[in-house]
Amino acid sequence: MSYQSLIAENSTHIAANNGTWDSISAESVARMQLQNRFQTGLDIARYTAKIMREDMAAYDADPAQYTQSLGCWHGFIAQQKMISIKKHFGTTKKRYLYLSGWMIAALRSEFGPLPDQSMHEKTSVPALIGELYTFLRQADSRELNLLFKDLDDARAANDAAKEAQALAKIENHETHVVPIIADIDAGFGNAEATYLLAKKMIEAGACALQIENQVSDEKQCGHQDGKVTVPHEDFLQKIRACRYAFLELGVPEGIIVARTDSLGAGLTKQIAVSKEAGDLGDLYNSFLDCEEIDPSTAQNGDVILNRNGKLLKPKRLPSNLFQFRSGTGEDRCVLDCITSLQNGADLIWIETEKPHIEQIAGMVDRIREVVPNAKLAYNNSPSFNWTLNFRQQVFDAWAAEGKDVSAYDRANLMSASYDETELGAQADMWIQNFQRDSAKRAGIFHHLITLPTYHTAALSTDNLAKDYFGEMGMLGYVAGVQRKEIRQGIACVKHQNMSGSDIGDEHKEYFAGEAALKAGGKDNTMNQFSNAA
């Protein structure tokens, strides 16, 4: 509802109580209602799912309309990210949040730092979703509070033009609440466990769940070795579990992102059940590394497959895992993606070992032969050495063209000595255009970086520690942090305001009138930043 209609509605409620509510301000209530637009996580999930569906349709019409996100490990990081996006671009459209299981394991587990192997608490995932949205809603409340102050100042000055301006900004306020693509890992158990966790994540506000086809109790980070996949039917059970959770909670537009790790996963824990030749189980098993055997040579405990009248023994490792044939990863990826999309997934995610557009596009072309509108979410991972990868890609492209590359050492292209070279500049241009070019060529609807704020926190803290504890002393903080905050218009330079102090003052005045004891008076040192942010 609009600001003015909320005021009118509240005035009616107040008047209906025979004078006992006359000390309540209808306009103050309207302000509080606007500042609490999303009252539950399900309200957020329904709202953001609709946004994602609209964005997916826009991308289908024009691949230049791709979306982006950064992984956030704390609500404050997410809040400052969205405040910055609104400041720099004027809108949050097509910018999401990504919730990384890796960062929860490394930063948010009660066990302390953990590897990305689904060892962190299940409850920490929905808890972080709730935290992220708490901070985004607080960003809304703070921004609206500043607009309400502008409105009050305009009225006090009898400035009708500024009052109309302030009212228009209030009525057209854009929320900081955006979609979250949330990592449910491999489901933390069987399909029932996946369903139960999915419900908690959706109730916390998640409109998009990303689930992978690894064995849940053997799950590894997508950029580590030792990944073990599950048969298609096992994975499809978990996709269905997520869809049931969305439908049960009244979020029919919820998004499921099906991730395949098959490109780098050479192992399986199970041989799939196959009822007839050519079914999904048979296709999965066809990739196993097997040797044909004579029945008379079979030994106790051997697992034997019958394929086309031949008896095959899959290679079984001491770990009791079975091995896929080398070189089958791409074929398995393509089948994984097609199967997932045909059984309820909305987006696919192919975890690759390097950011190479043609490698991704080659698989997507094959997938789109079967599912024409297939779209990807792609991990622009910090696990890739982007500089080295793209310099080597340029080197290889030049060499294929017959261009002289004798001035460059391919194995040592990370060296800073190449930063100002033609090759270095070309590689940087390819990196700069990677998202735009791959959205167009390789079907990537959503580009995300899983761990950026993990790395930025470490980098900025290193710089501050080096300067503050060194010769610069307090100037290390002032020149390296505060002065830059002021000049770049960083909202949290006024940290009391950012934490909600001014909102609290407004509430005190609502509740106590002239008797309110406010924190934001003339002696508040935050007034020194009156012209900042």
Question: Which pLDDT band holds residue 528 (cuts at 50, 70, 90)?
Answer: low
- Where does residue 498 rank: exposed (0-12), middle (13-18), buried (19+ CB within 10 A)? buried
Q: What three-state secondary structure class fits 51?
A: helix
The answer to whether position 319 is within a domain reads no
Tens of pLDDT, residue by residue over 281-304, are 999 999 999 988 887 787 777 788
Torsion angle of alpha carbons 132, 137, 141, 142, nearest 10°?
20
Distance of alpha carbon 268 from alpha carbon 228, whole angstroms? 5
Residue in the block written with tokens 């935050």: 526
Do 105 and 212 reside in the same domain of the chain? yes
pTM for this prediction: 0.92
Say what the pLDDT of residue 523 is: 60
The answer to whether position 529 is within a domain reads no
Give the mean model confidence (pLDDT) for residues 474-491: 90
Do 109 and 28 reside in the same domain of the chain? no
Question: Which pLDDT band holds residue 220 (cuts at 50, 70, 90)?
Answer: low
Say what the pLDDT of residue 222 is: 46
Does 37 have pLDDT greater than 80?
A: yes
Q: Which residues are documented as binding site? A: 100-102, 183, 222-223, 259, 379-383, 450
**Closest Cα partner for 294 from 307, 310, 305, 317?**
310
Does 476 have pLDDT greater than 90?
A: yes
Give the mean model confidence (pLDDT) for residues 489-513: 81
In percent, the amount of the chain with pLDDT more than 90 equals 76
- Cα 80 to Cα 8, 117, 179: the distances in Å are 34, 29, 16
Q: Which residues contact 329 (CB under 8 A, 6 or more apart)?
A: 262, 263, 264, 265, 266
Question: Which pLDDT band holds residue 21 (cuts at 50, 70, 90)?
Answer: very high
Number of H helices, E strands in the chain: 20, 14
What value, to the nearest 5°, has the Cα angle with vertex 397 and ends 391 and 398? 90
Do 417 and 362 reside in the same domain of the chain? yes
Q: Which residues contact 530 (CB under 8 A, 6 or more apart)?
A: none
Question: Which pLDDT band holds residue 95 (cuts at 50, 70, 90)?
Answer: very high
The answer to whether position 347 is within a domain reads yes
Say what the pLDDT of residue 219 is: 58
- Cα 222 to Cα 185, 219, 264, 420: the distances in Å are 10, 9, 8, 33
Least confident span in 359-363, 405-409, 466-470, 500-504: 500-504
Give the mean model confidence (pLDDT) for residues 228-246: 96
Distance of alpha carbon 170 from alpha carbon 517, whole angstroms? 27
Say what the pLDDT of residue 527 is: 65
Give the mean model confidence (pLDDT) for residues 14-36: 95
Q: Which residues are documented as binding site for substrate? A: 100-102, 222-223, 259, 379-383, 450
- Higher pLDDT: 522 or 165? It is 165
The answer to whether position 525 is within a domain reads no
Do 454 and 479 reside in the same domain of the chain? no
Do 379 and 420 reside in the same domain of the chain? yes
Distance of alpha carbon 33 from alpha carbon 27, whole angstroms? 10
When computed from its CA atoms, the radius of gyration of the chain, rounded to whole angstroms, is 28
Do 179 and 52 reside in the same domain of the chain? yes
Do 55 and 80 reside in the same domain of the chain? yes
Phi and psi of 252, rounded to 5°?
A: -65, -20
Per the DSSP assignment, residues forming a β-bridge with 349 are: 259
Does 389 have pLDDT greater than 90?
A: yes
Mean pLDDT (the chain) is: 92
Do 484 and 448 reside in the same domain of the chain? no
Distance of alpha carbon 335 from alpha carbon 215, whole angstroms? 18
Chain-centroid distance, C-alpha 132: 11
The answer to whether position 190 is within a domain reads yes
Please list the active-site residues: 221
Task: Classify the phi-psi angles of 332: left when phi > 0, otherwise alpha if psi is within -120 to 50, otherwise beta.
Answer: alpha
Does 524 have pLDDT greater than 70?
A: no
The answer to whether position 9 is within a domain reads yes
Give the mean model confidence (pLDDT) for residues 498-525: 74
Q: How many CB atoms lie within 10 A of CB 461?
A: 10
Give the mean model confidence (pLDDT) for residues 195-221: 89
Question: Which pLDDT band holds residue 245 (cuts at 50, 70, 90)?
Answer: very high
Do 29 and 47 reside in the same domain of the chain? no
Q: 129, 182 in Cβ contact below 8 A?
A: yes
Distance of alpha carbon 195 from alpha carbon 189, whole angstroms? 10
Least confident span in 105-119, 215-229, 319-333: 215-229
Least confident span in 121-135, 174-188, 205-219, 420-434: 205-219
String of DSSP letters for 445-508? EEEEESSHHHHHHHHHHHHHHHHHTTTTTHHHHIIIIIHHHHHHT-GGGSHHHHTTHHHHHHHH
CATH of the domain at 212: 3.20.20.60
The answer to whether position 527 is within a domain reads no
Do 270 and 360 reside in the same domain of the chain? yes
Per the structure, the complete domain to which residue 11 belongs is given by: 1-35
Question: Which pLDDT band holds residue 187 (cuts at 50, 70, 90)?
Answer: very high
What value, to the nearest 5°, has the Cα angle with vertex 37 and ends 36 and 43? 120
Say what the pLDDT of residue 147 is: 97
Do 153 and 202 reside in the same domain of the chain? yes
- Cα 18 to Cα 5, 6, 7, 13, 73: the distances in Å are 22, 20, 18, 10, 50
Q: How many CB atoms lie within 10 A of CB 302?
A: 12
The answer to whether position 122 is within a domain reads yes
* 430-433, long-range: CB < 8 A, 24+ apart: 430/390, 430/393, 430/394, 431/386, 431/387, 431/390
Do 455 and 479 reside in the same domain of the chain? no
Chain-centroid distance, C-alpha 215: 22
Say what the pLDDT of residue 513 is: 79
The structural domain count of the chain equals 3
Tens of pLDDT, residue by residue over 139-154, are 999 999 999 999 999 9
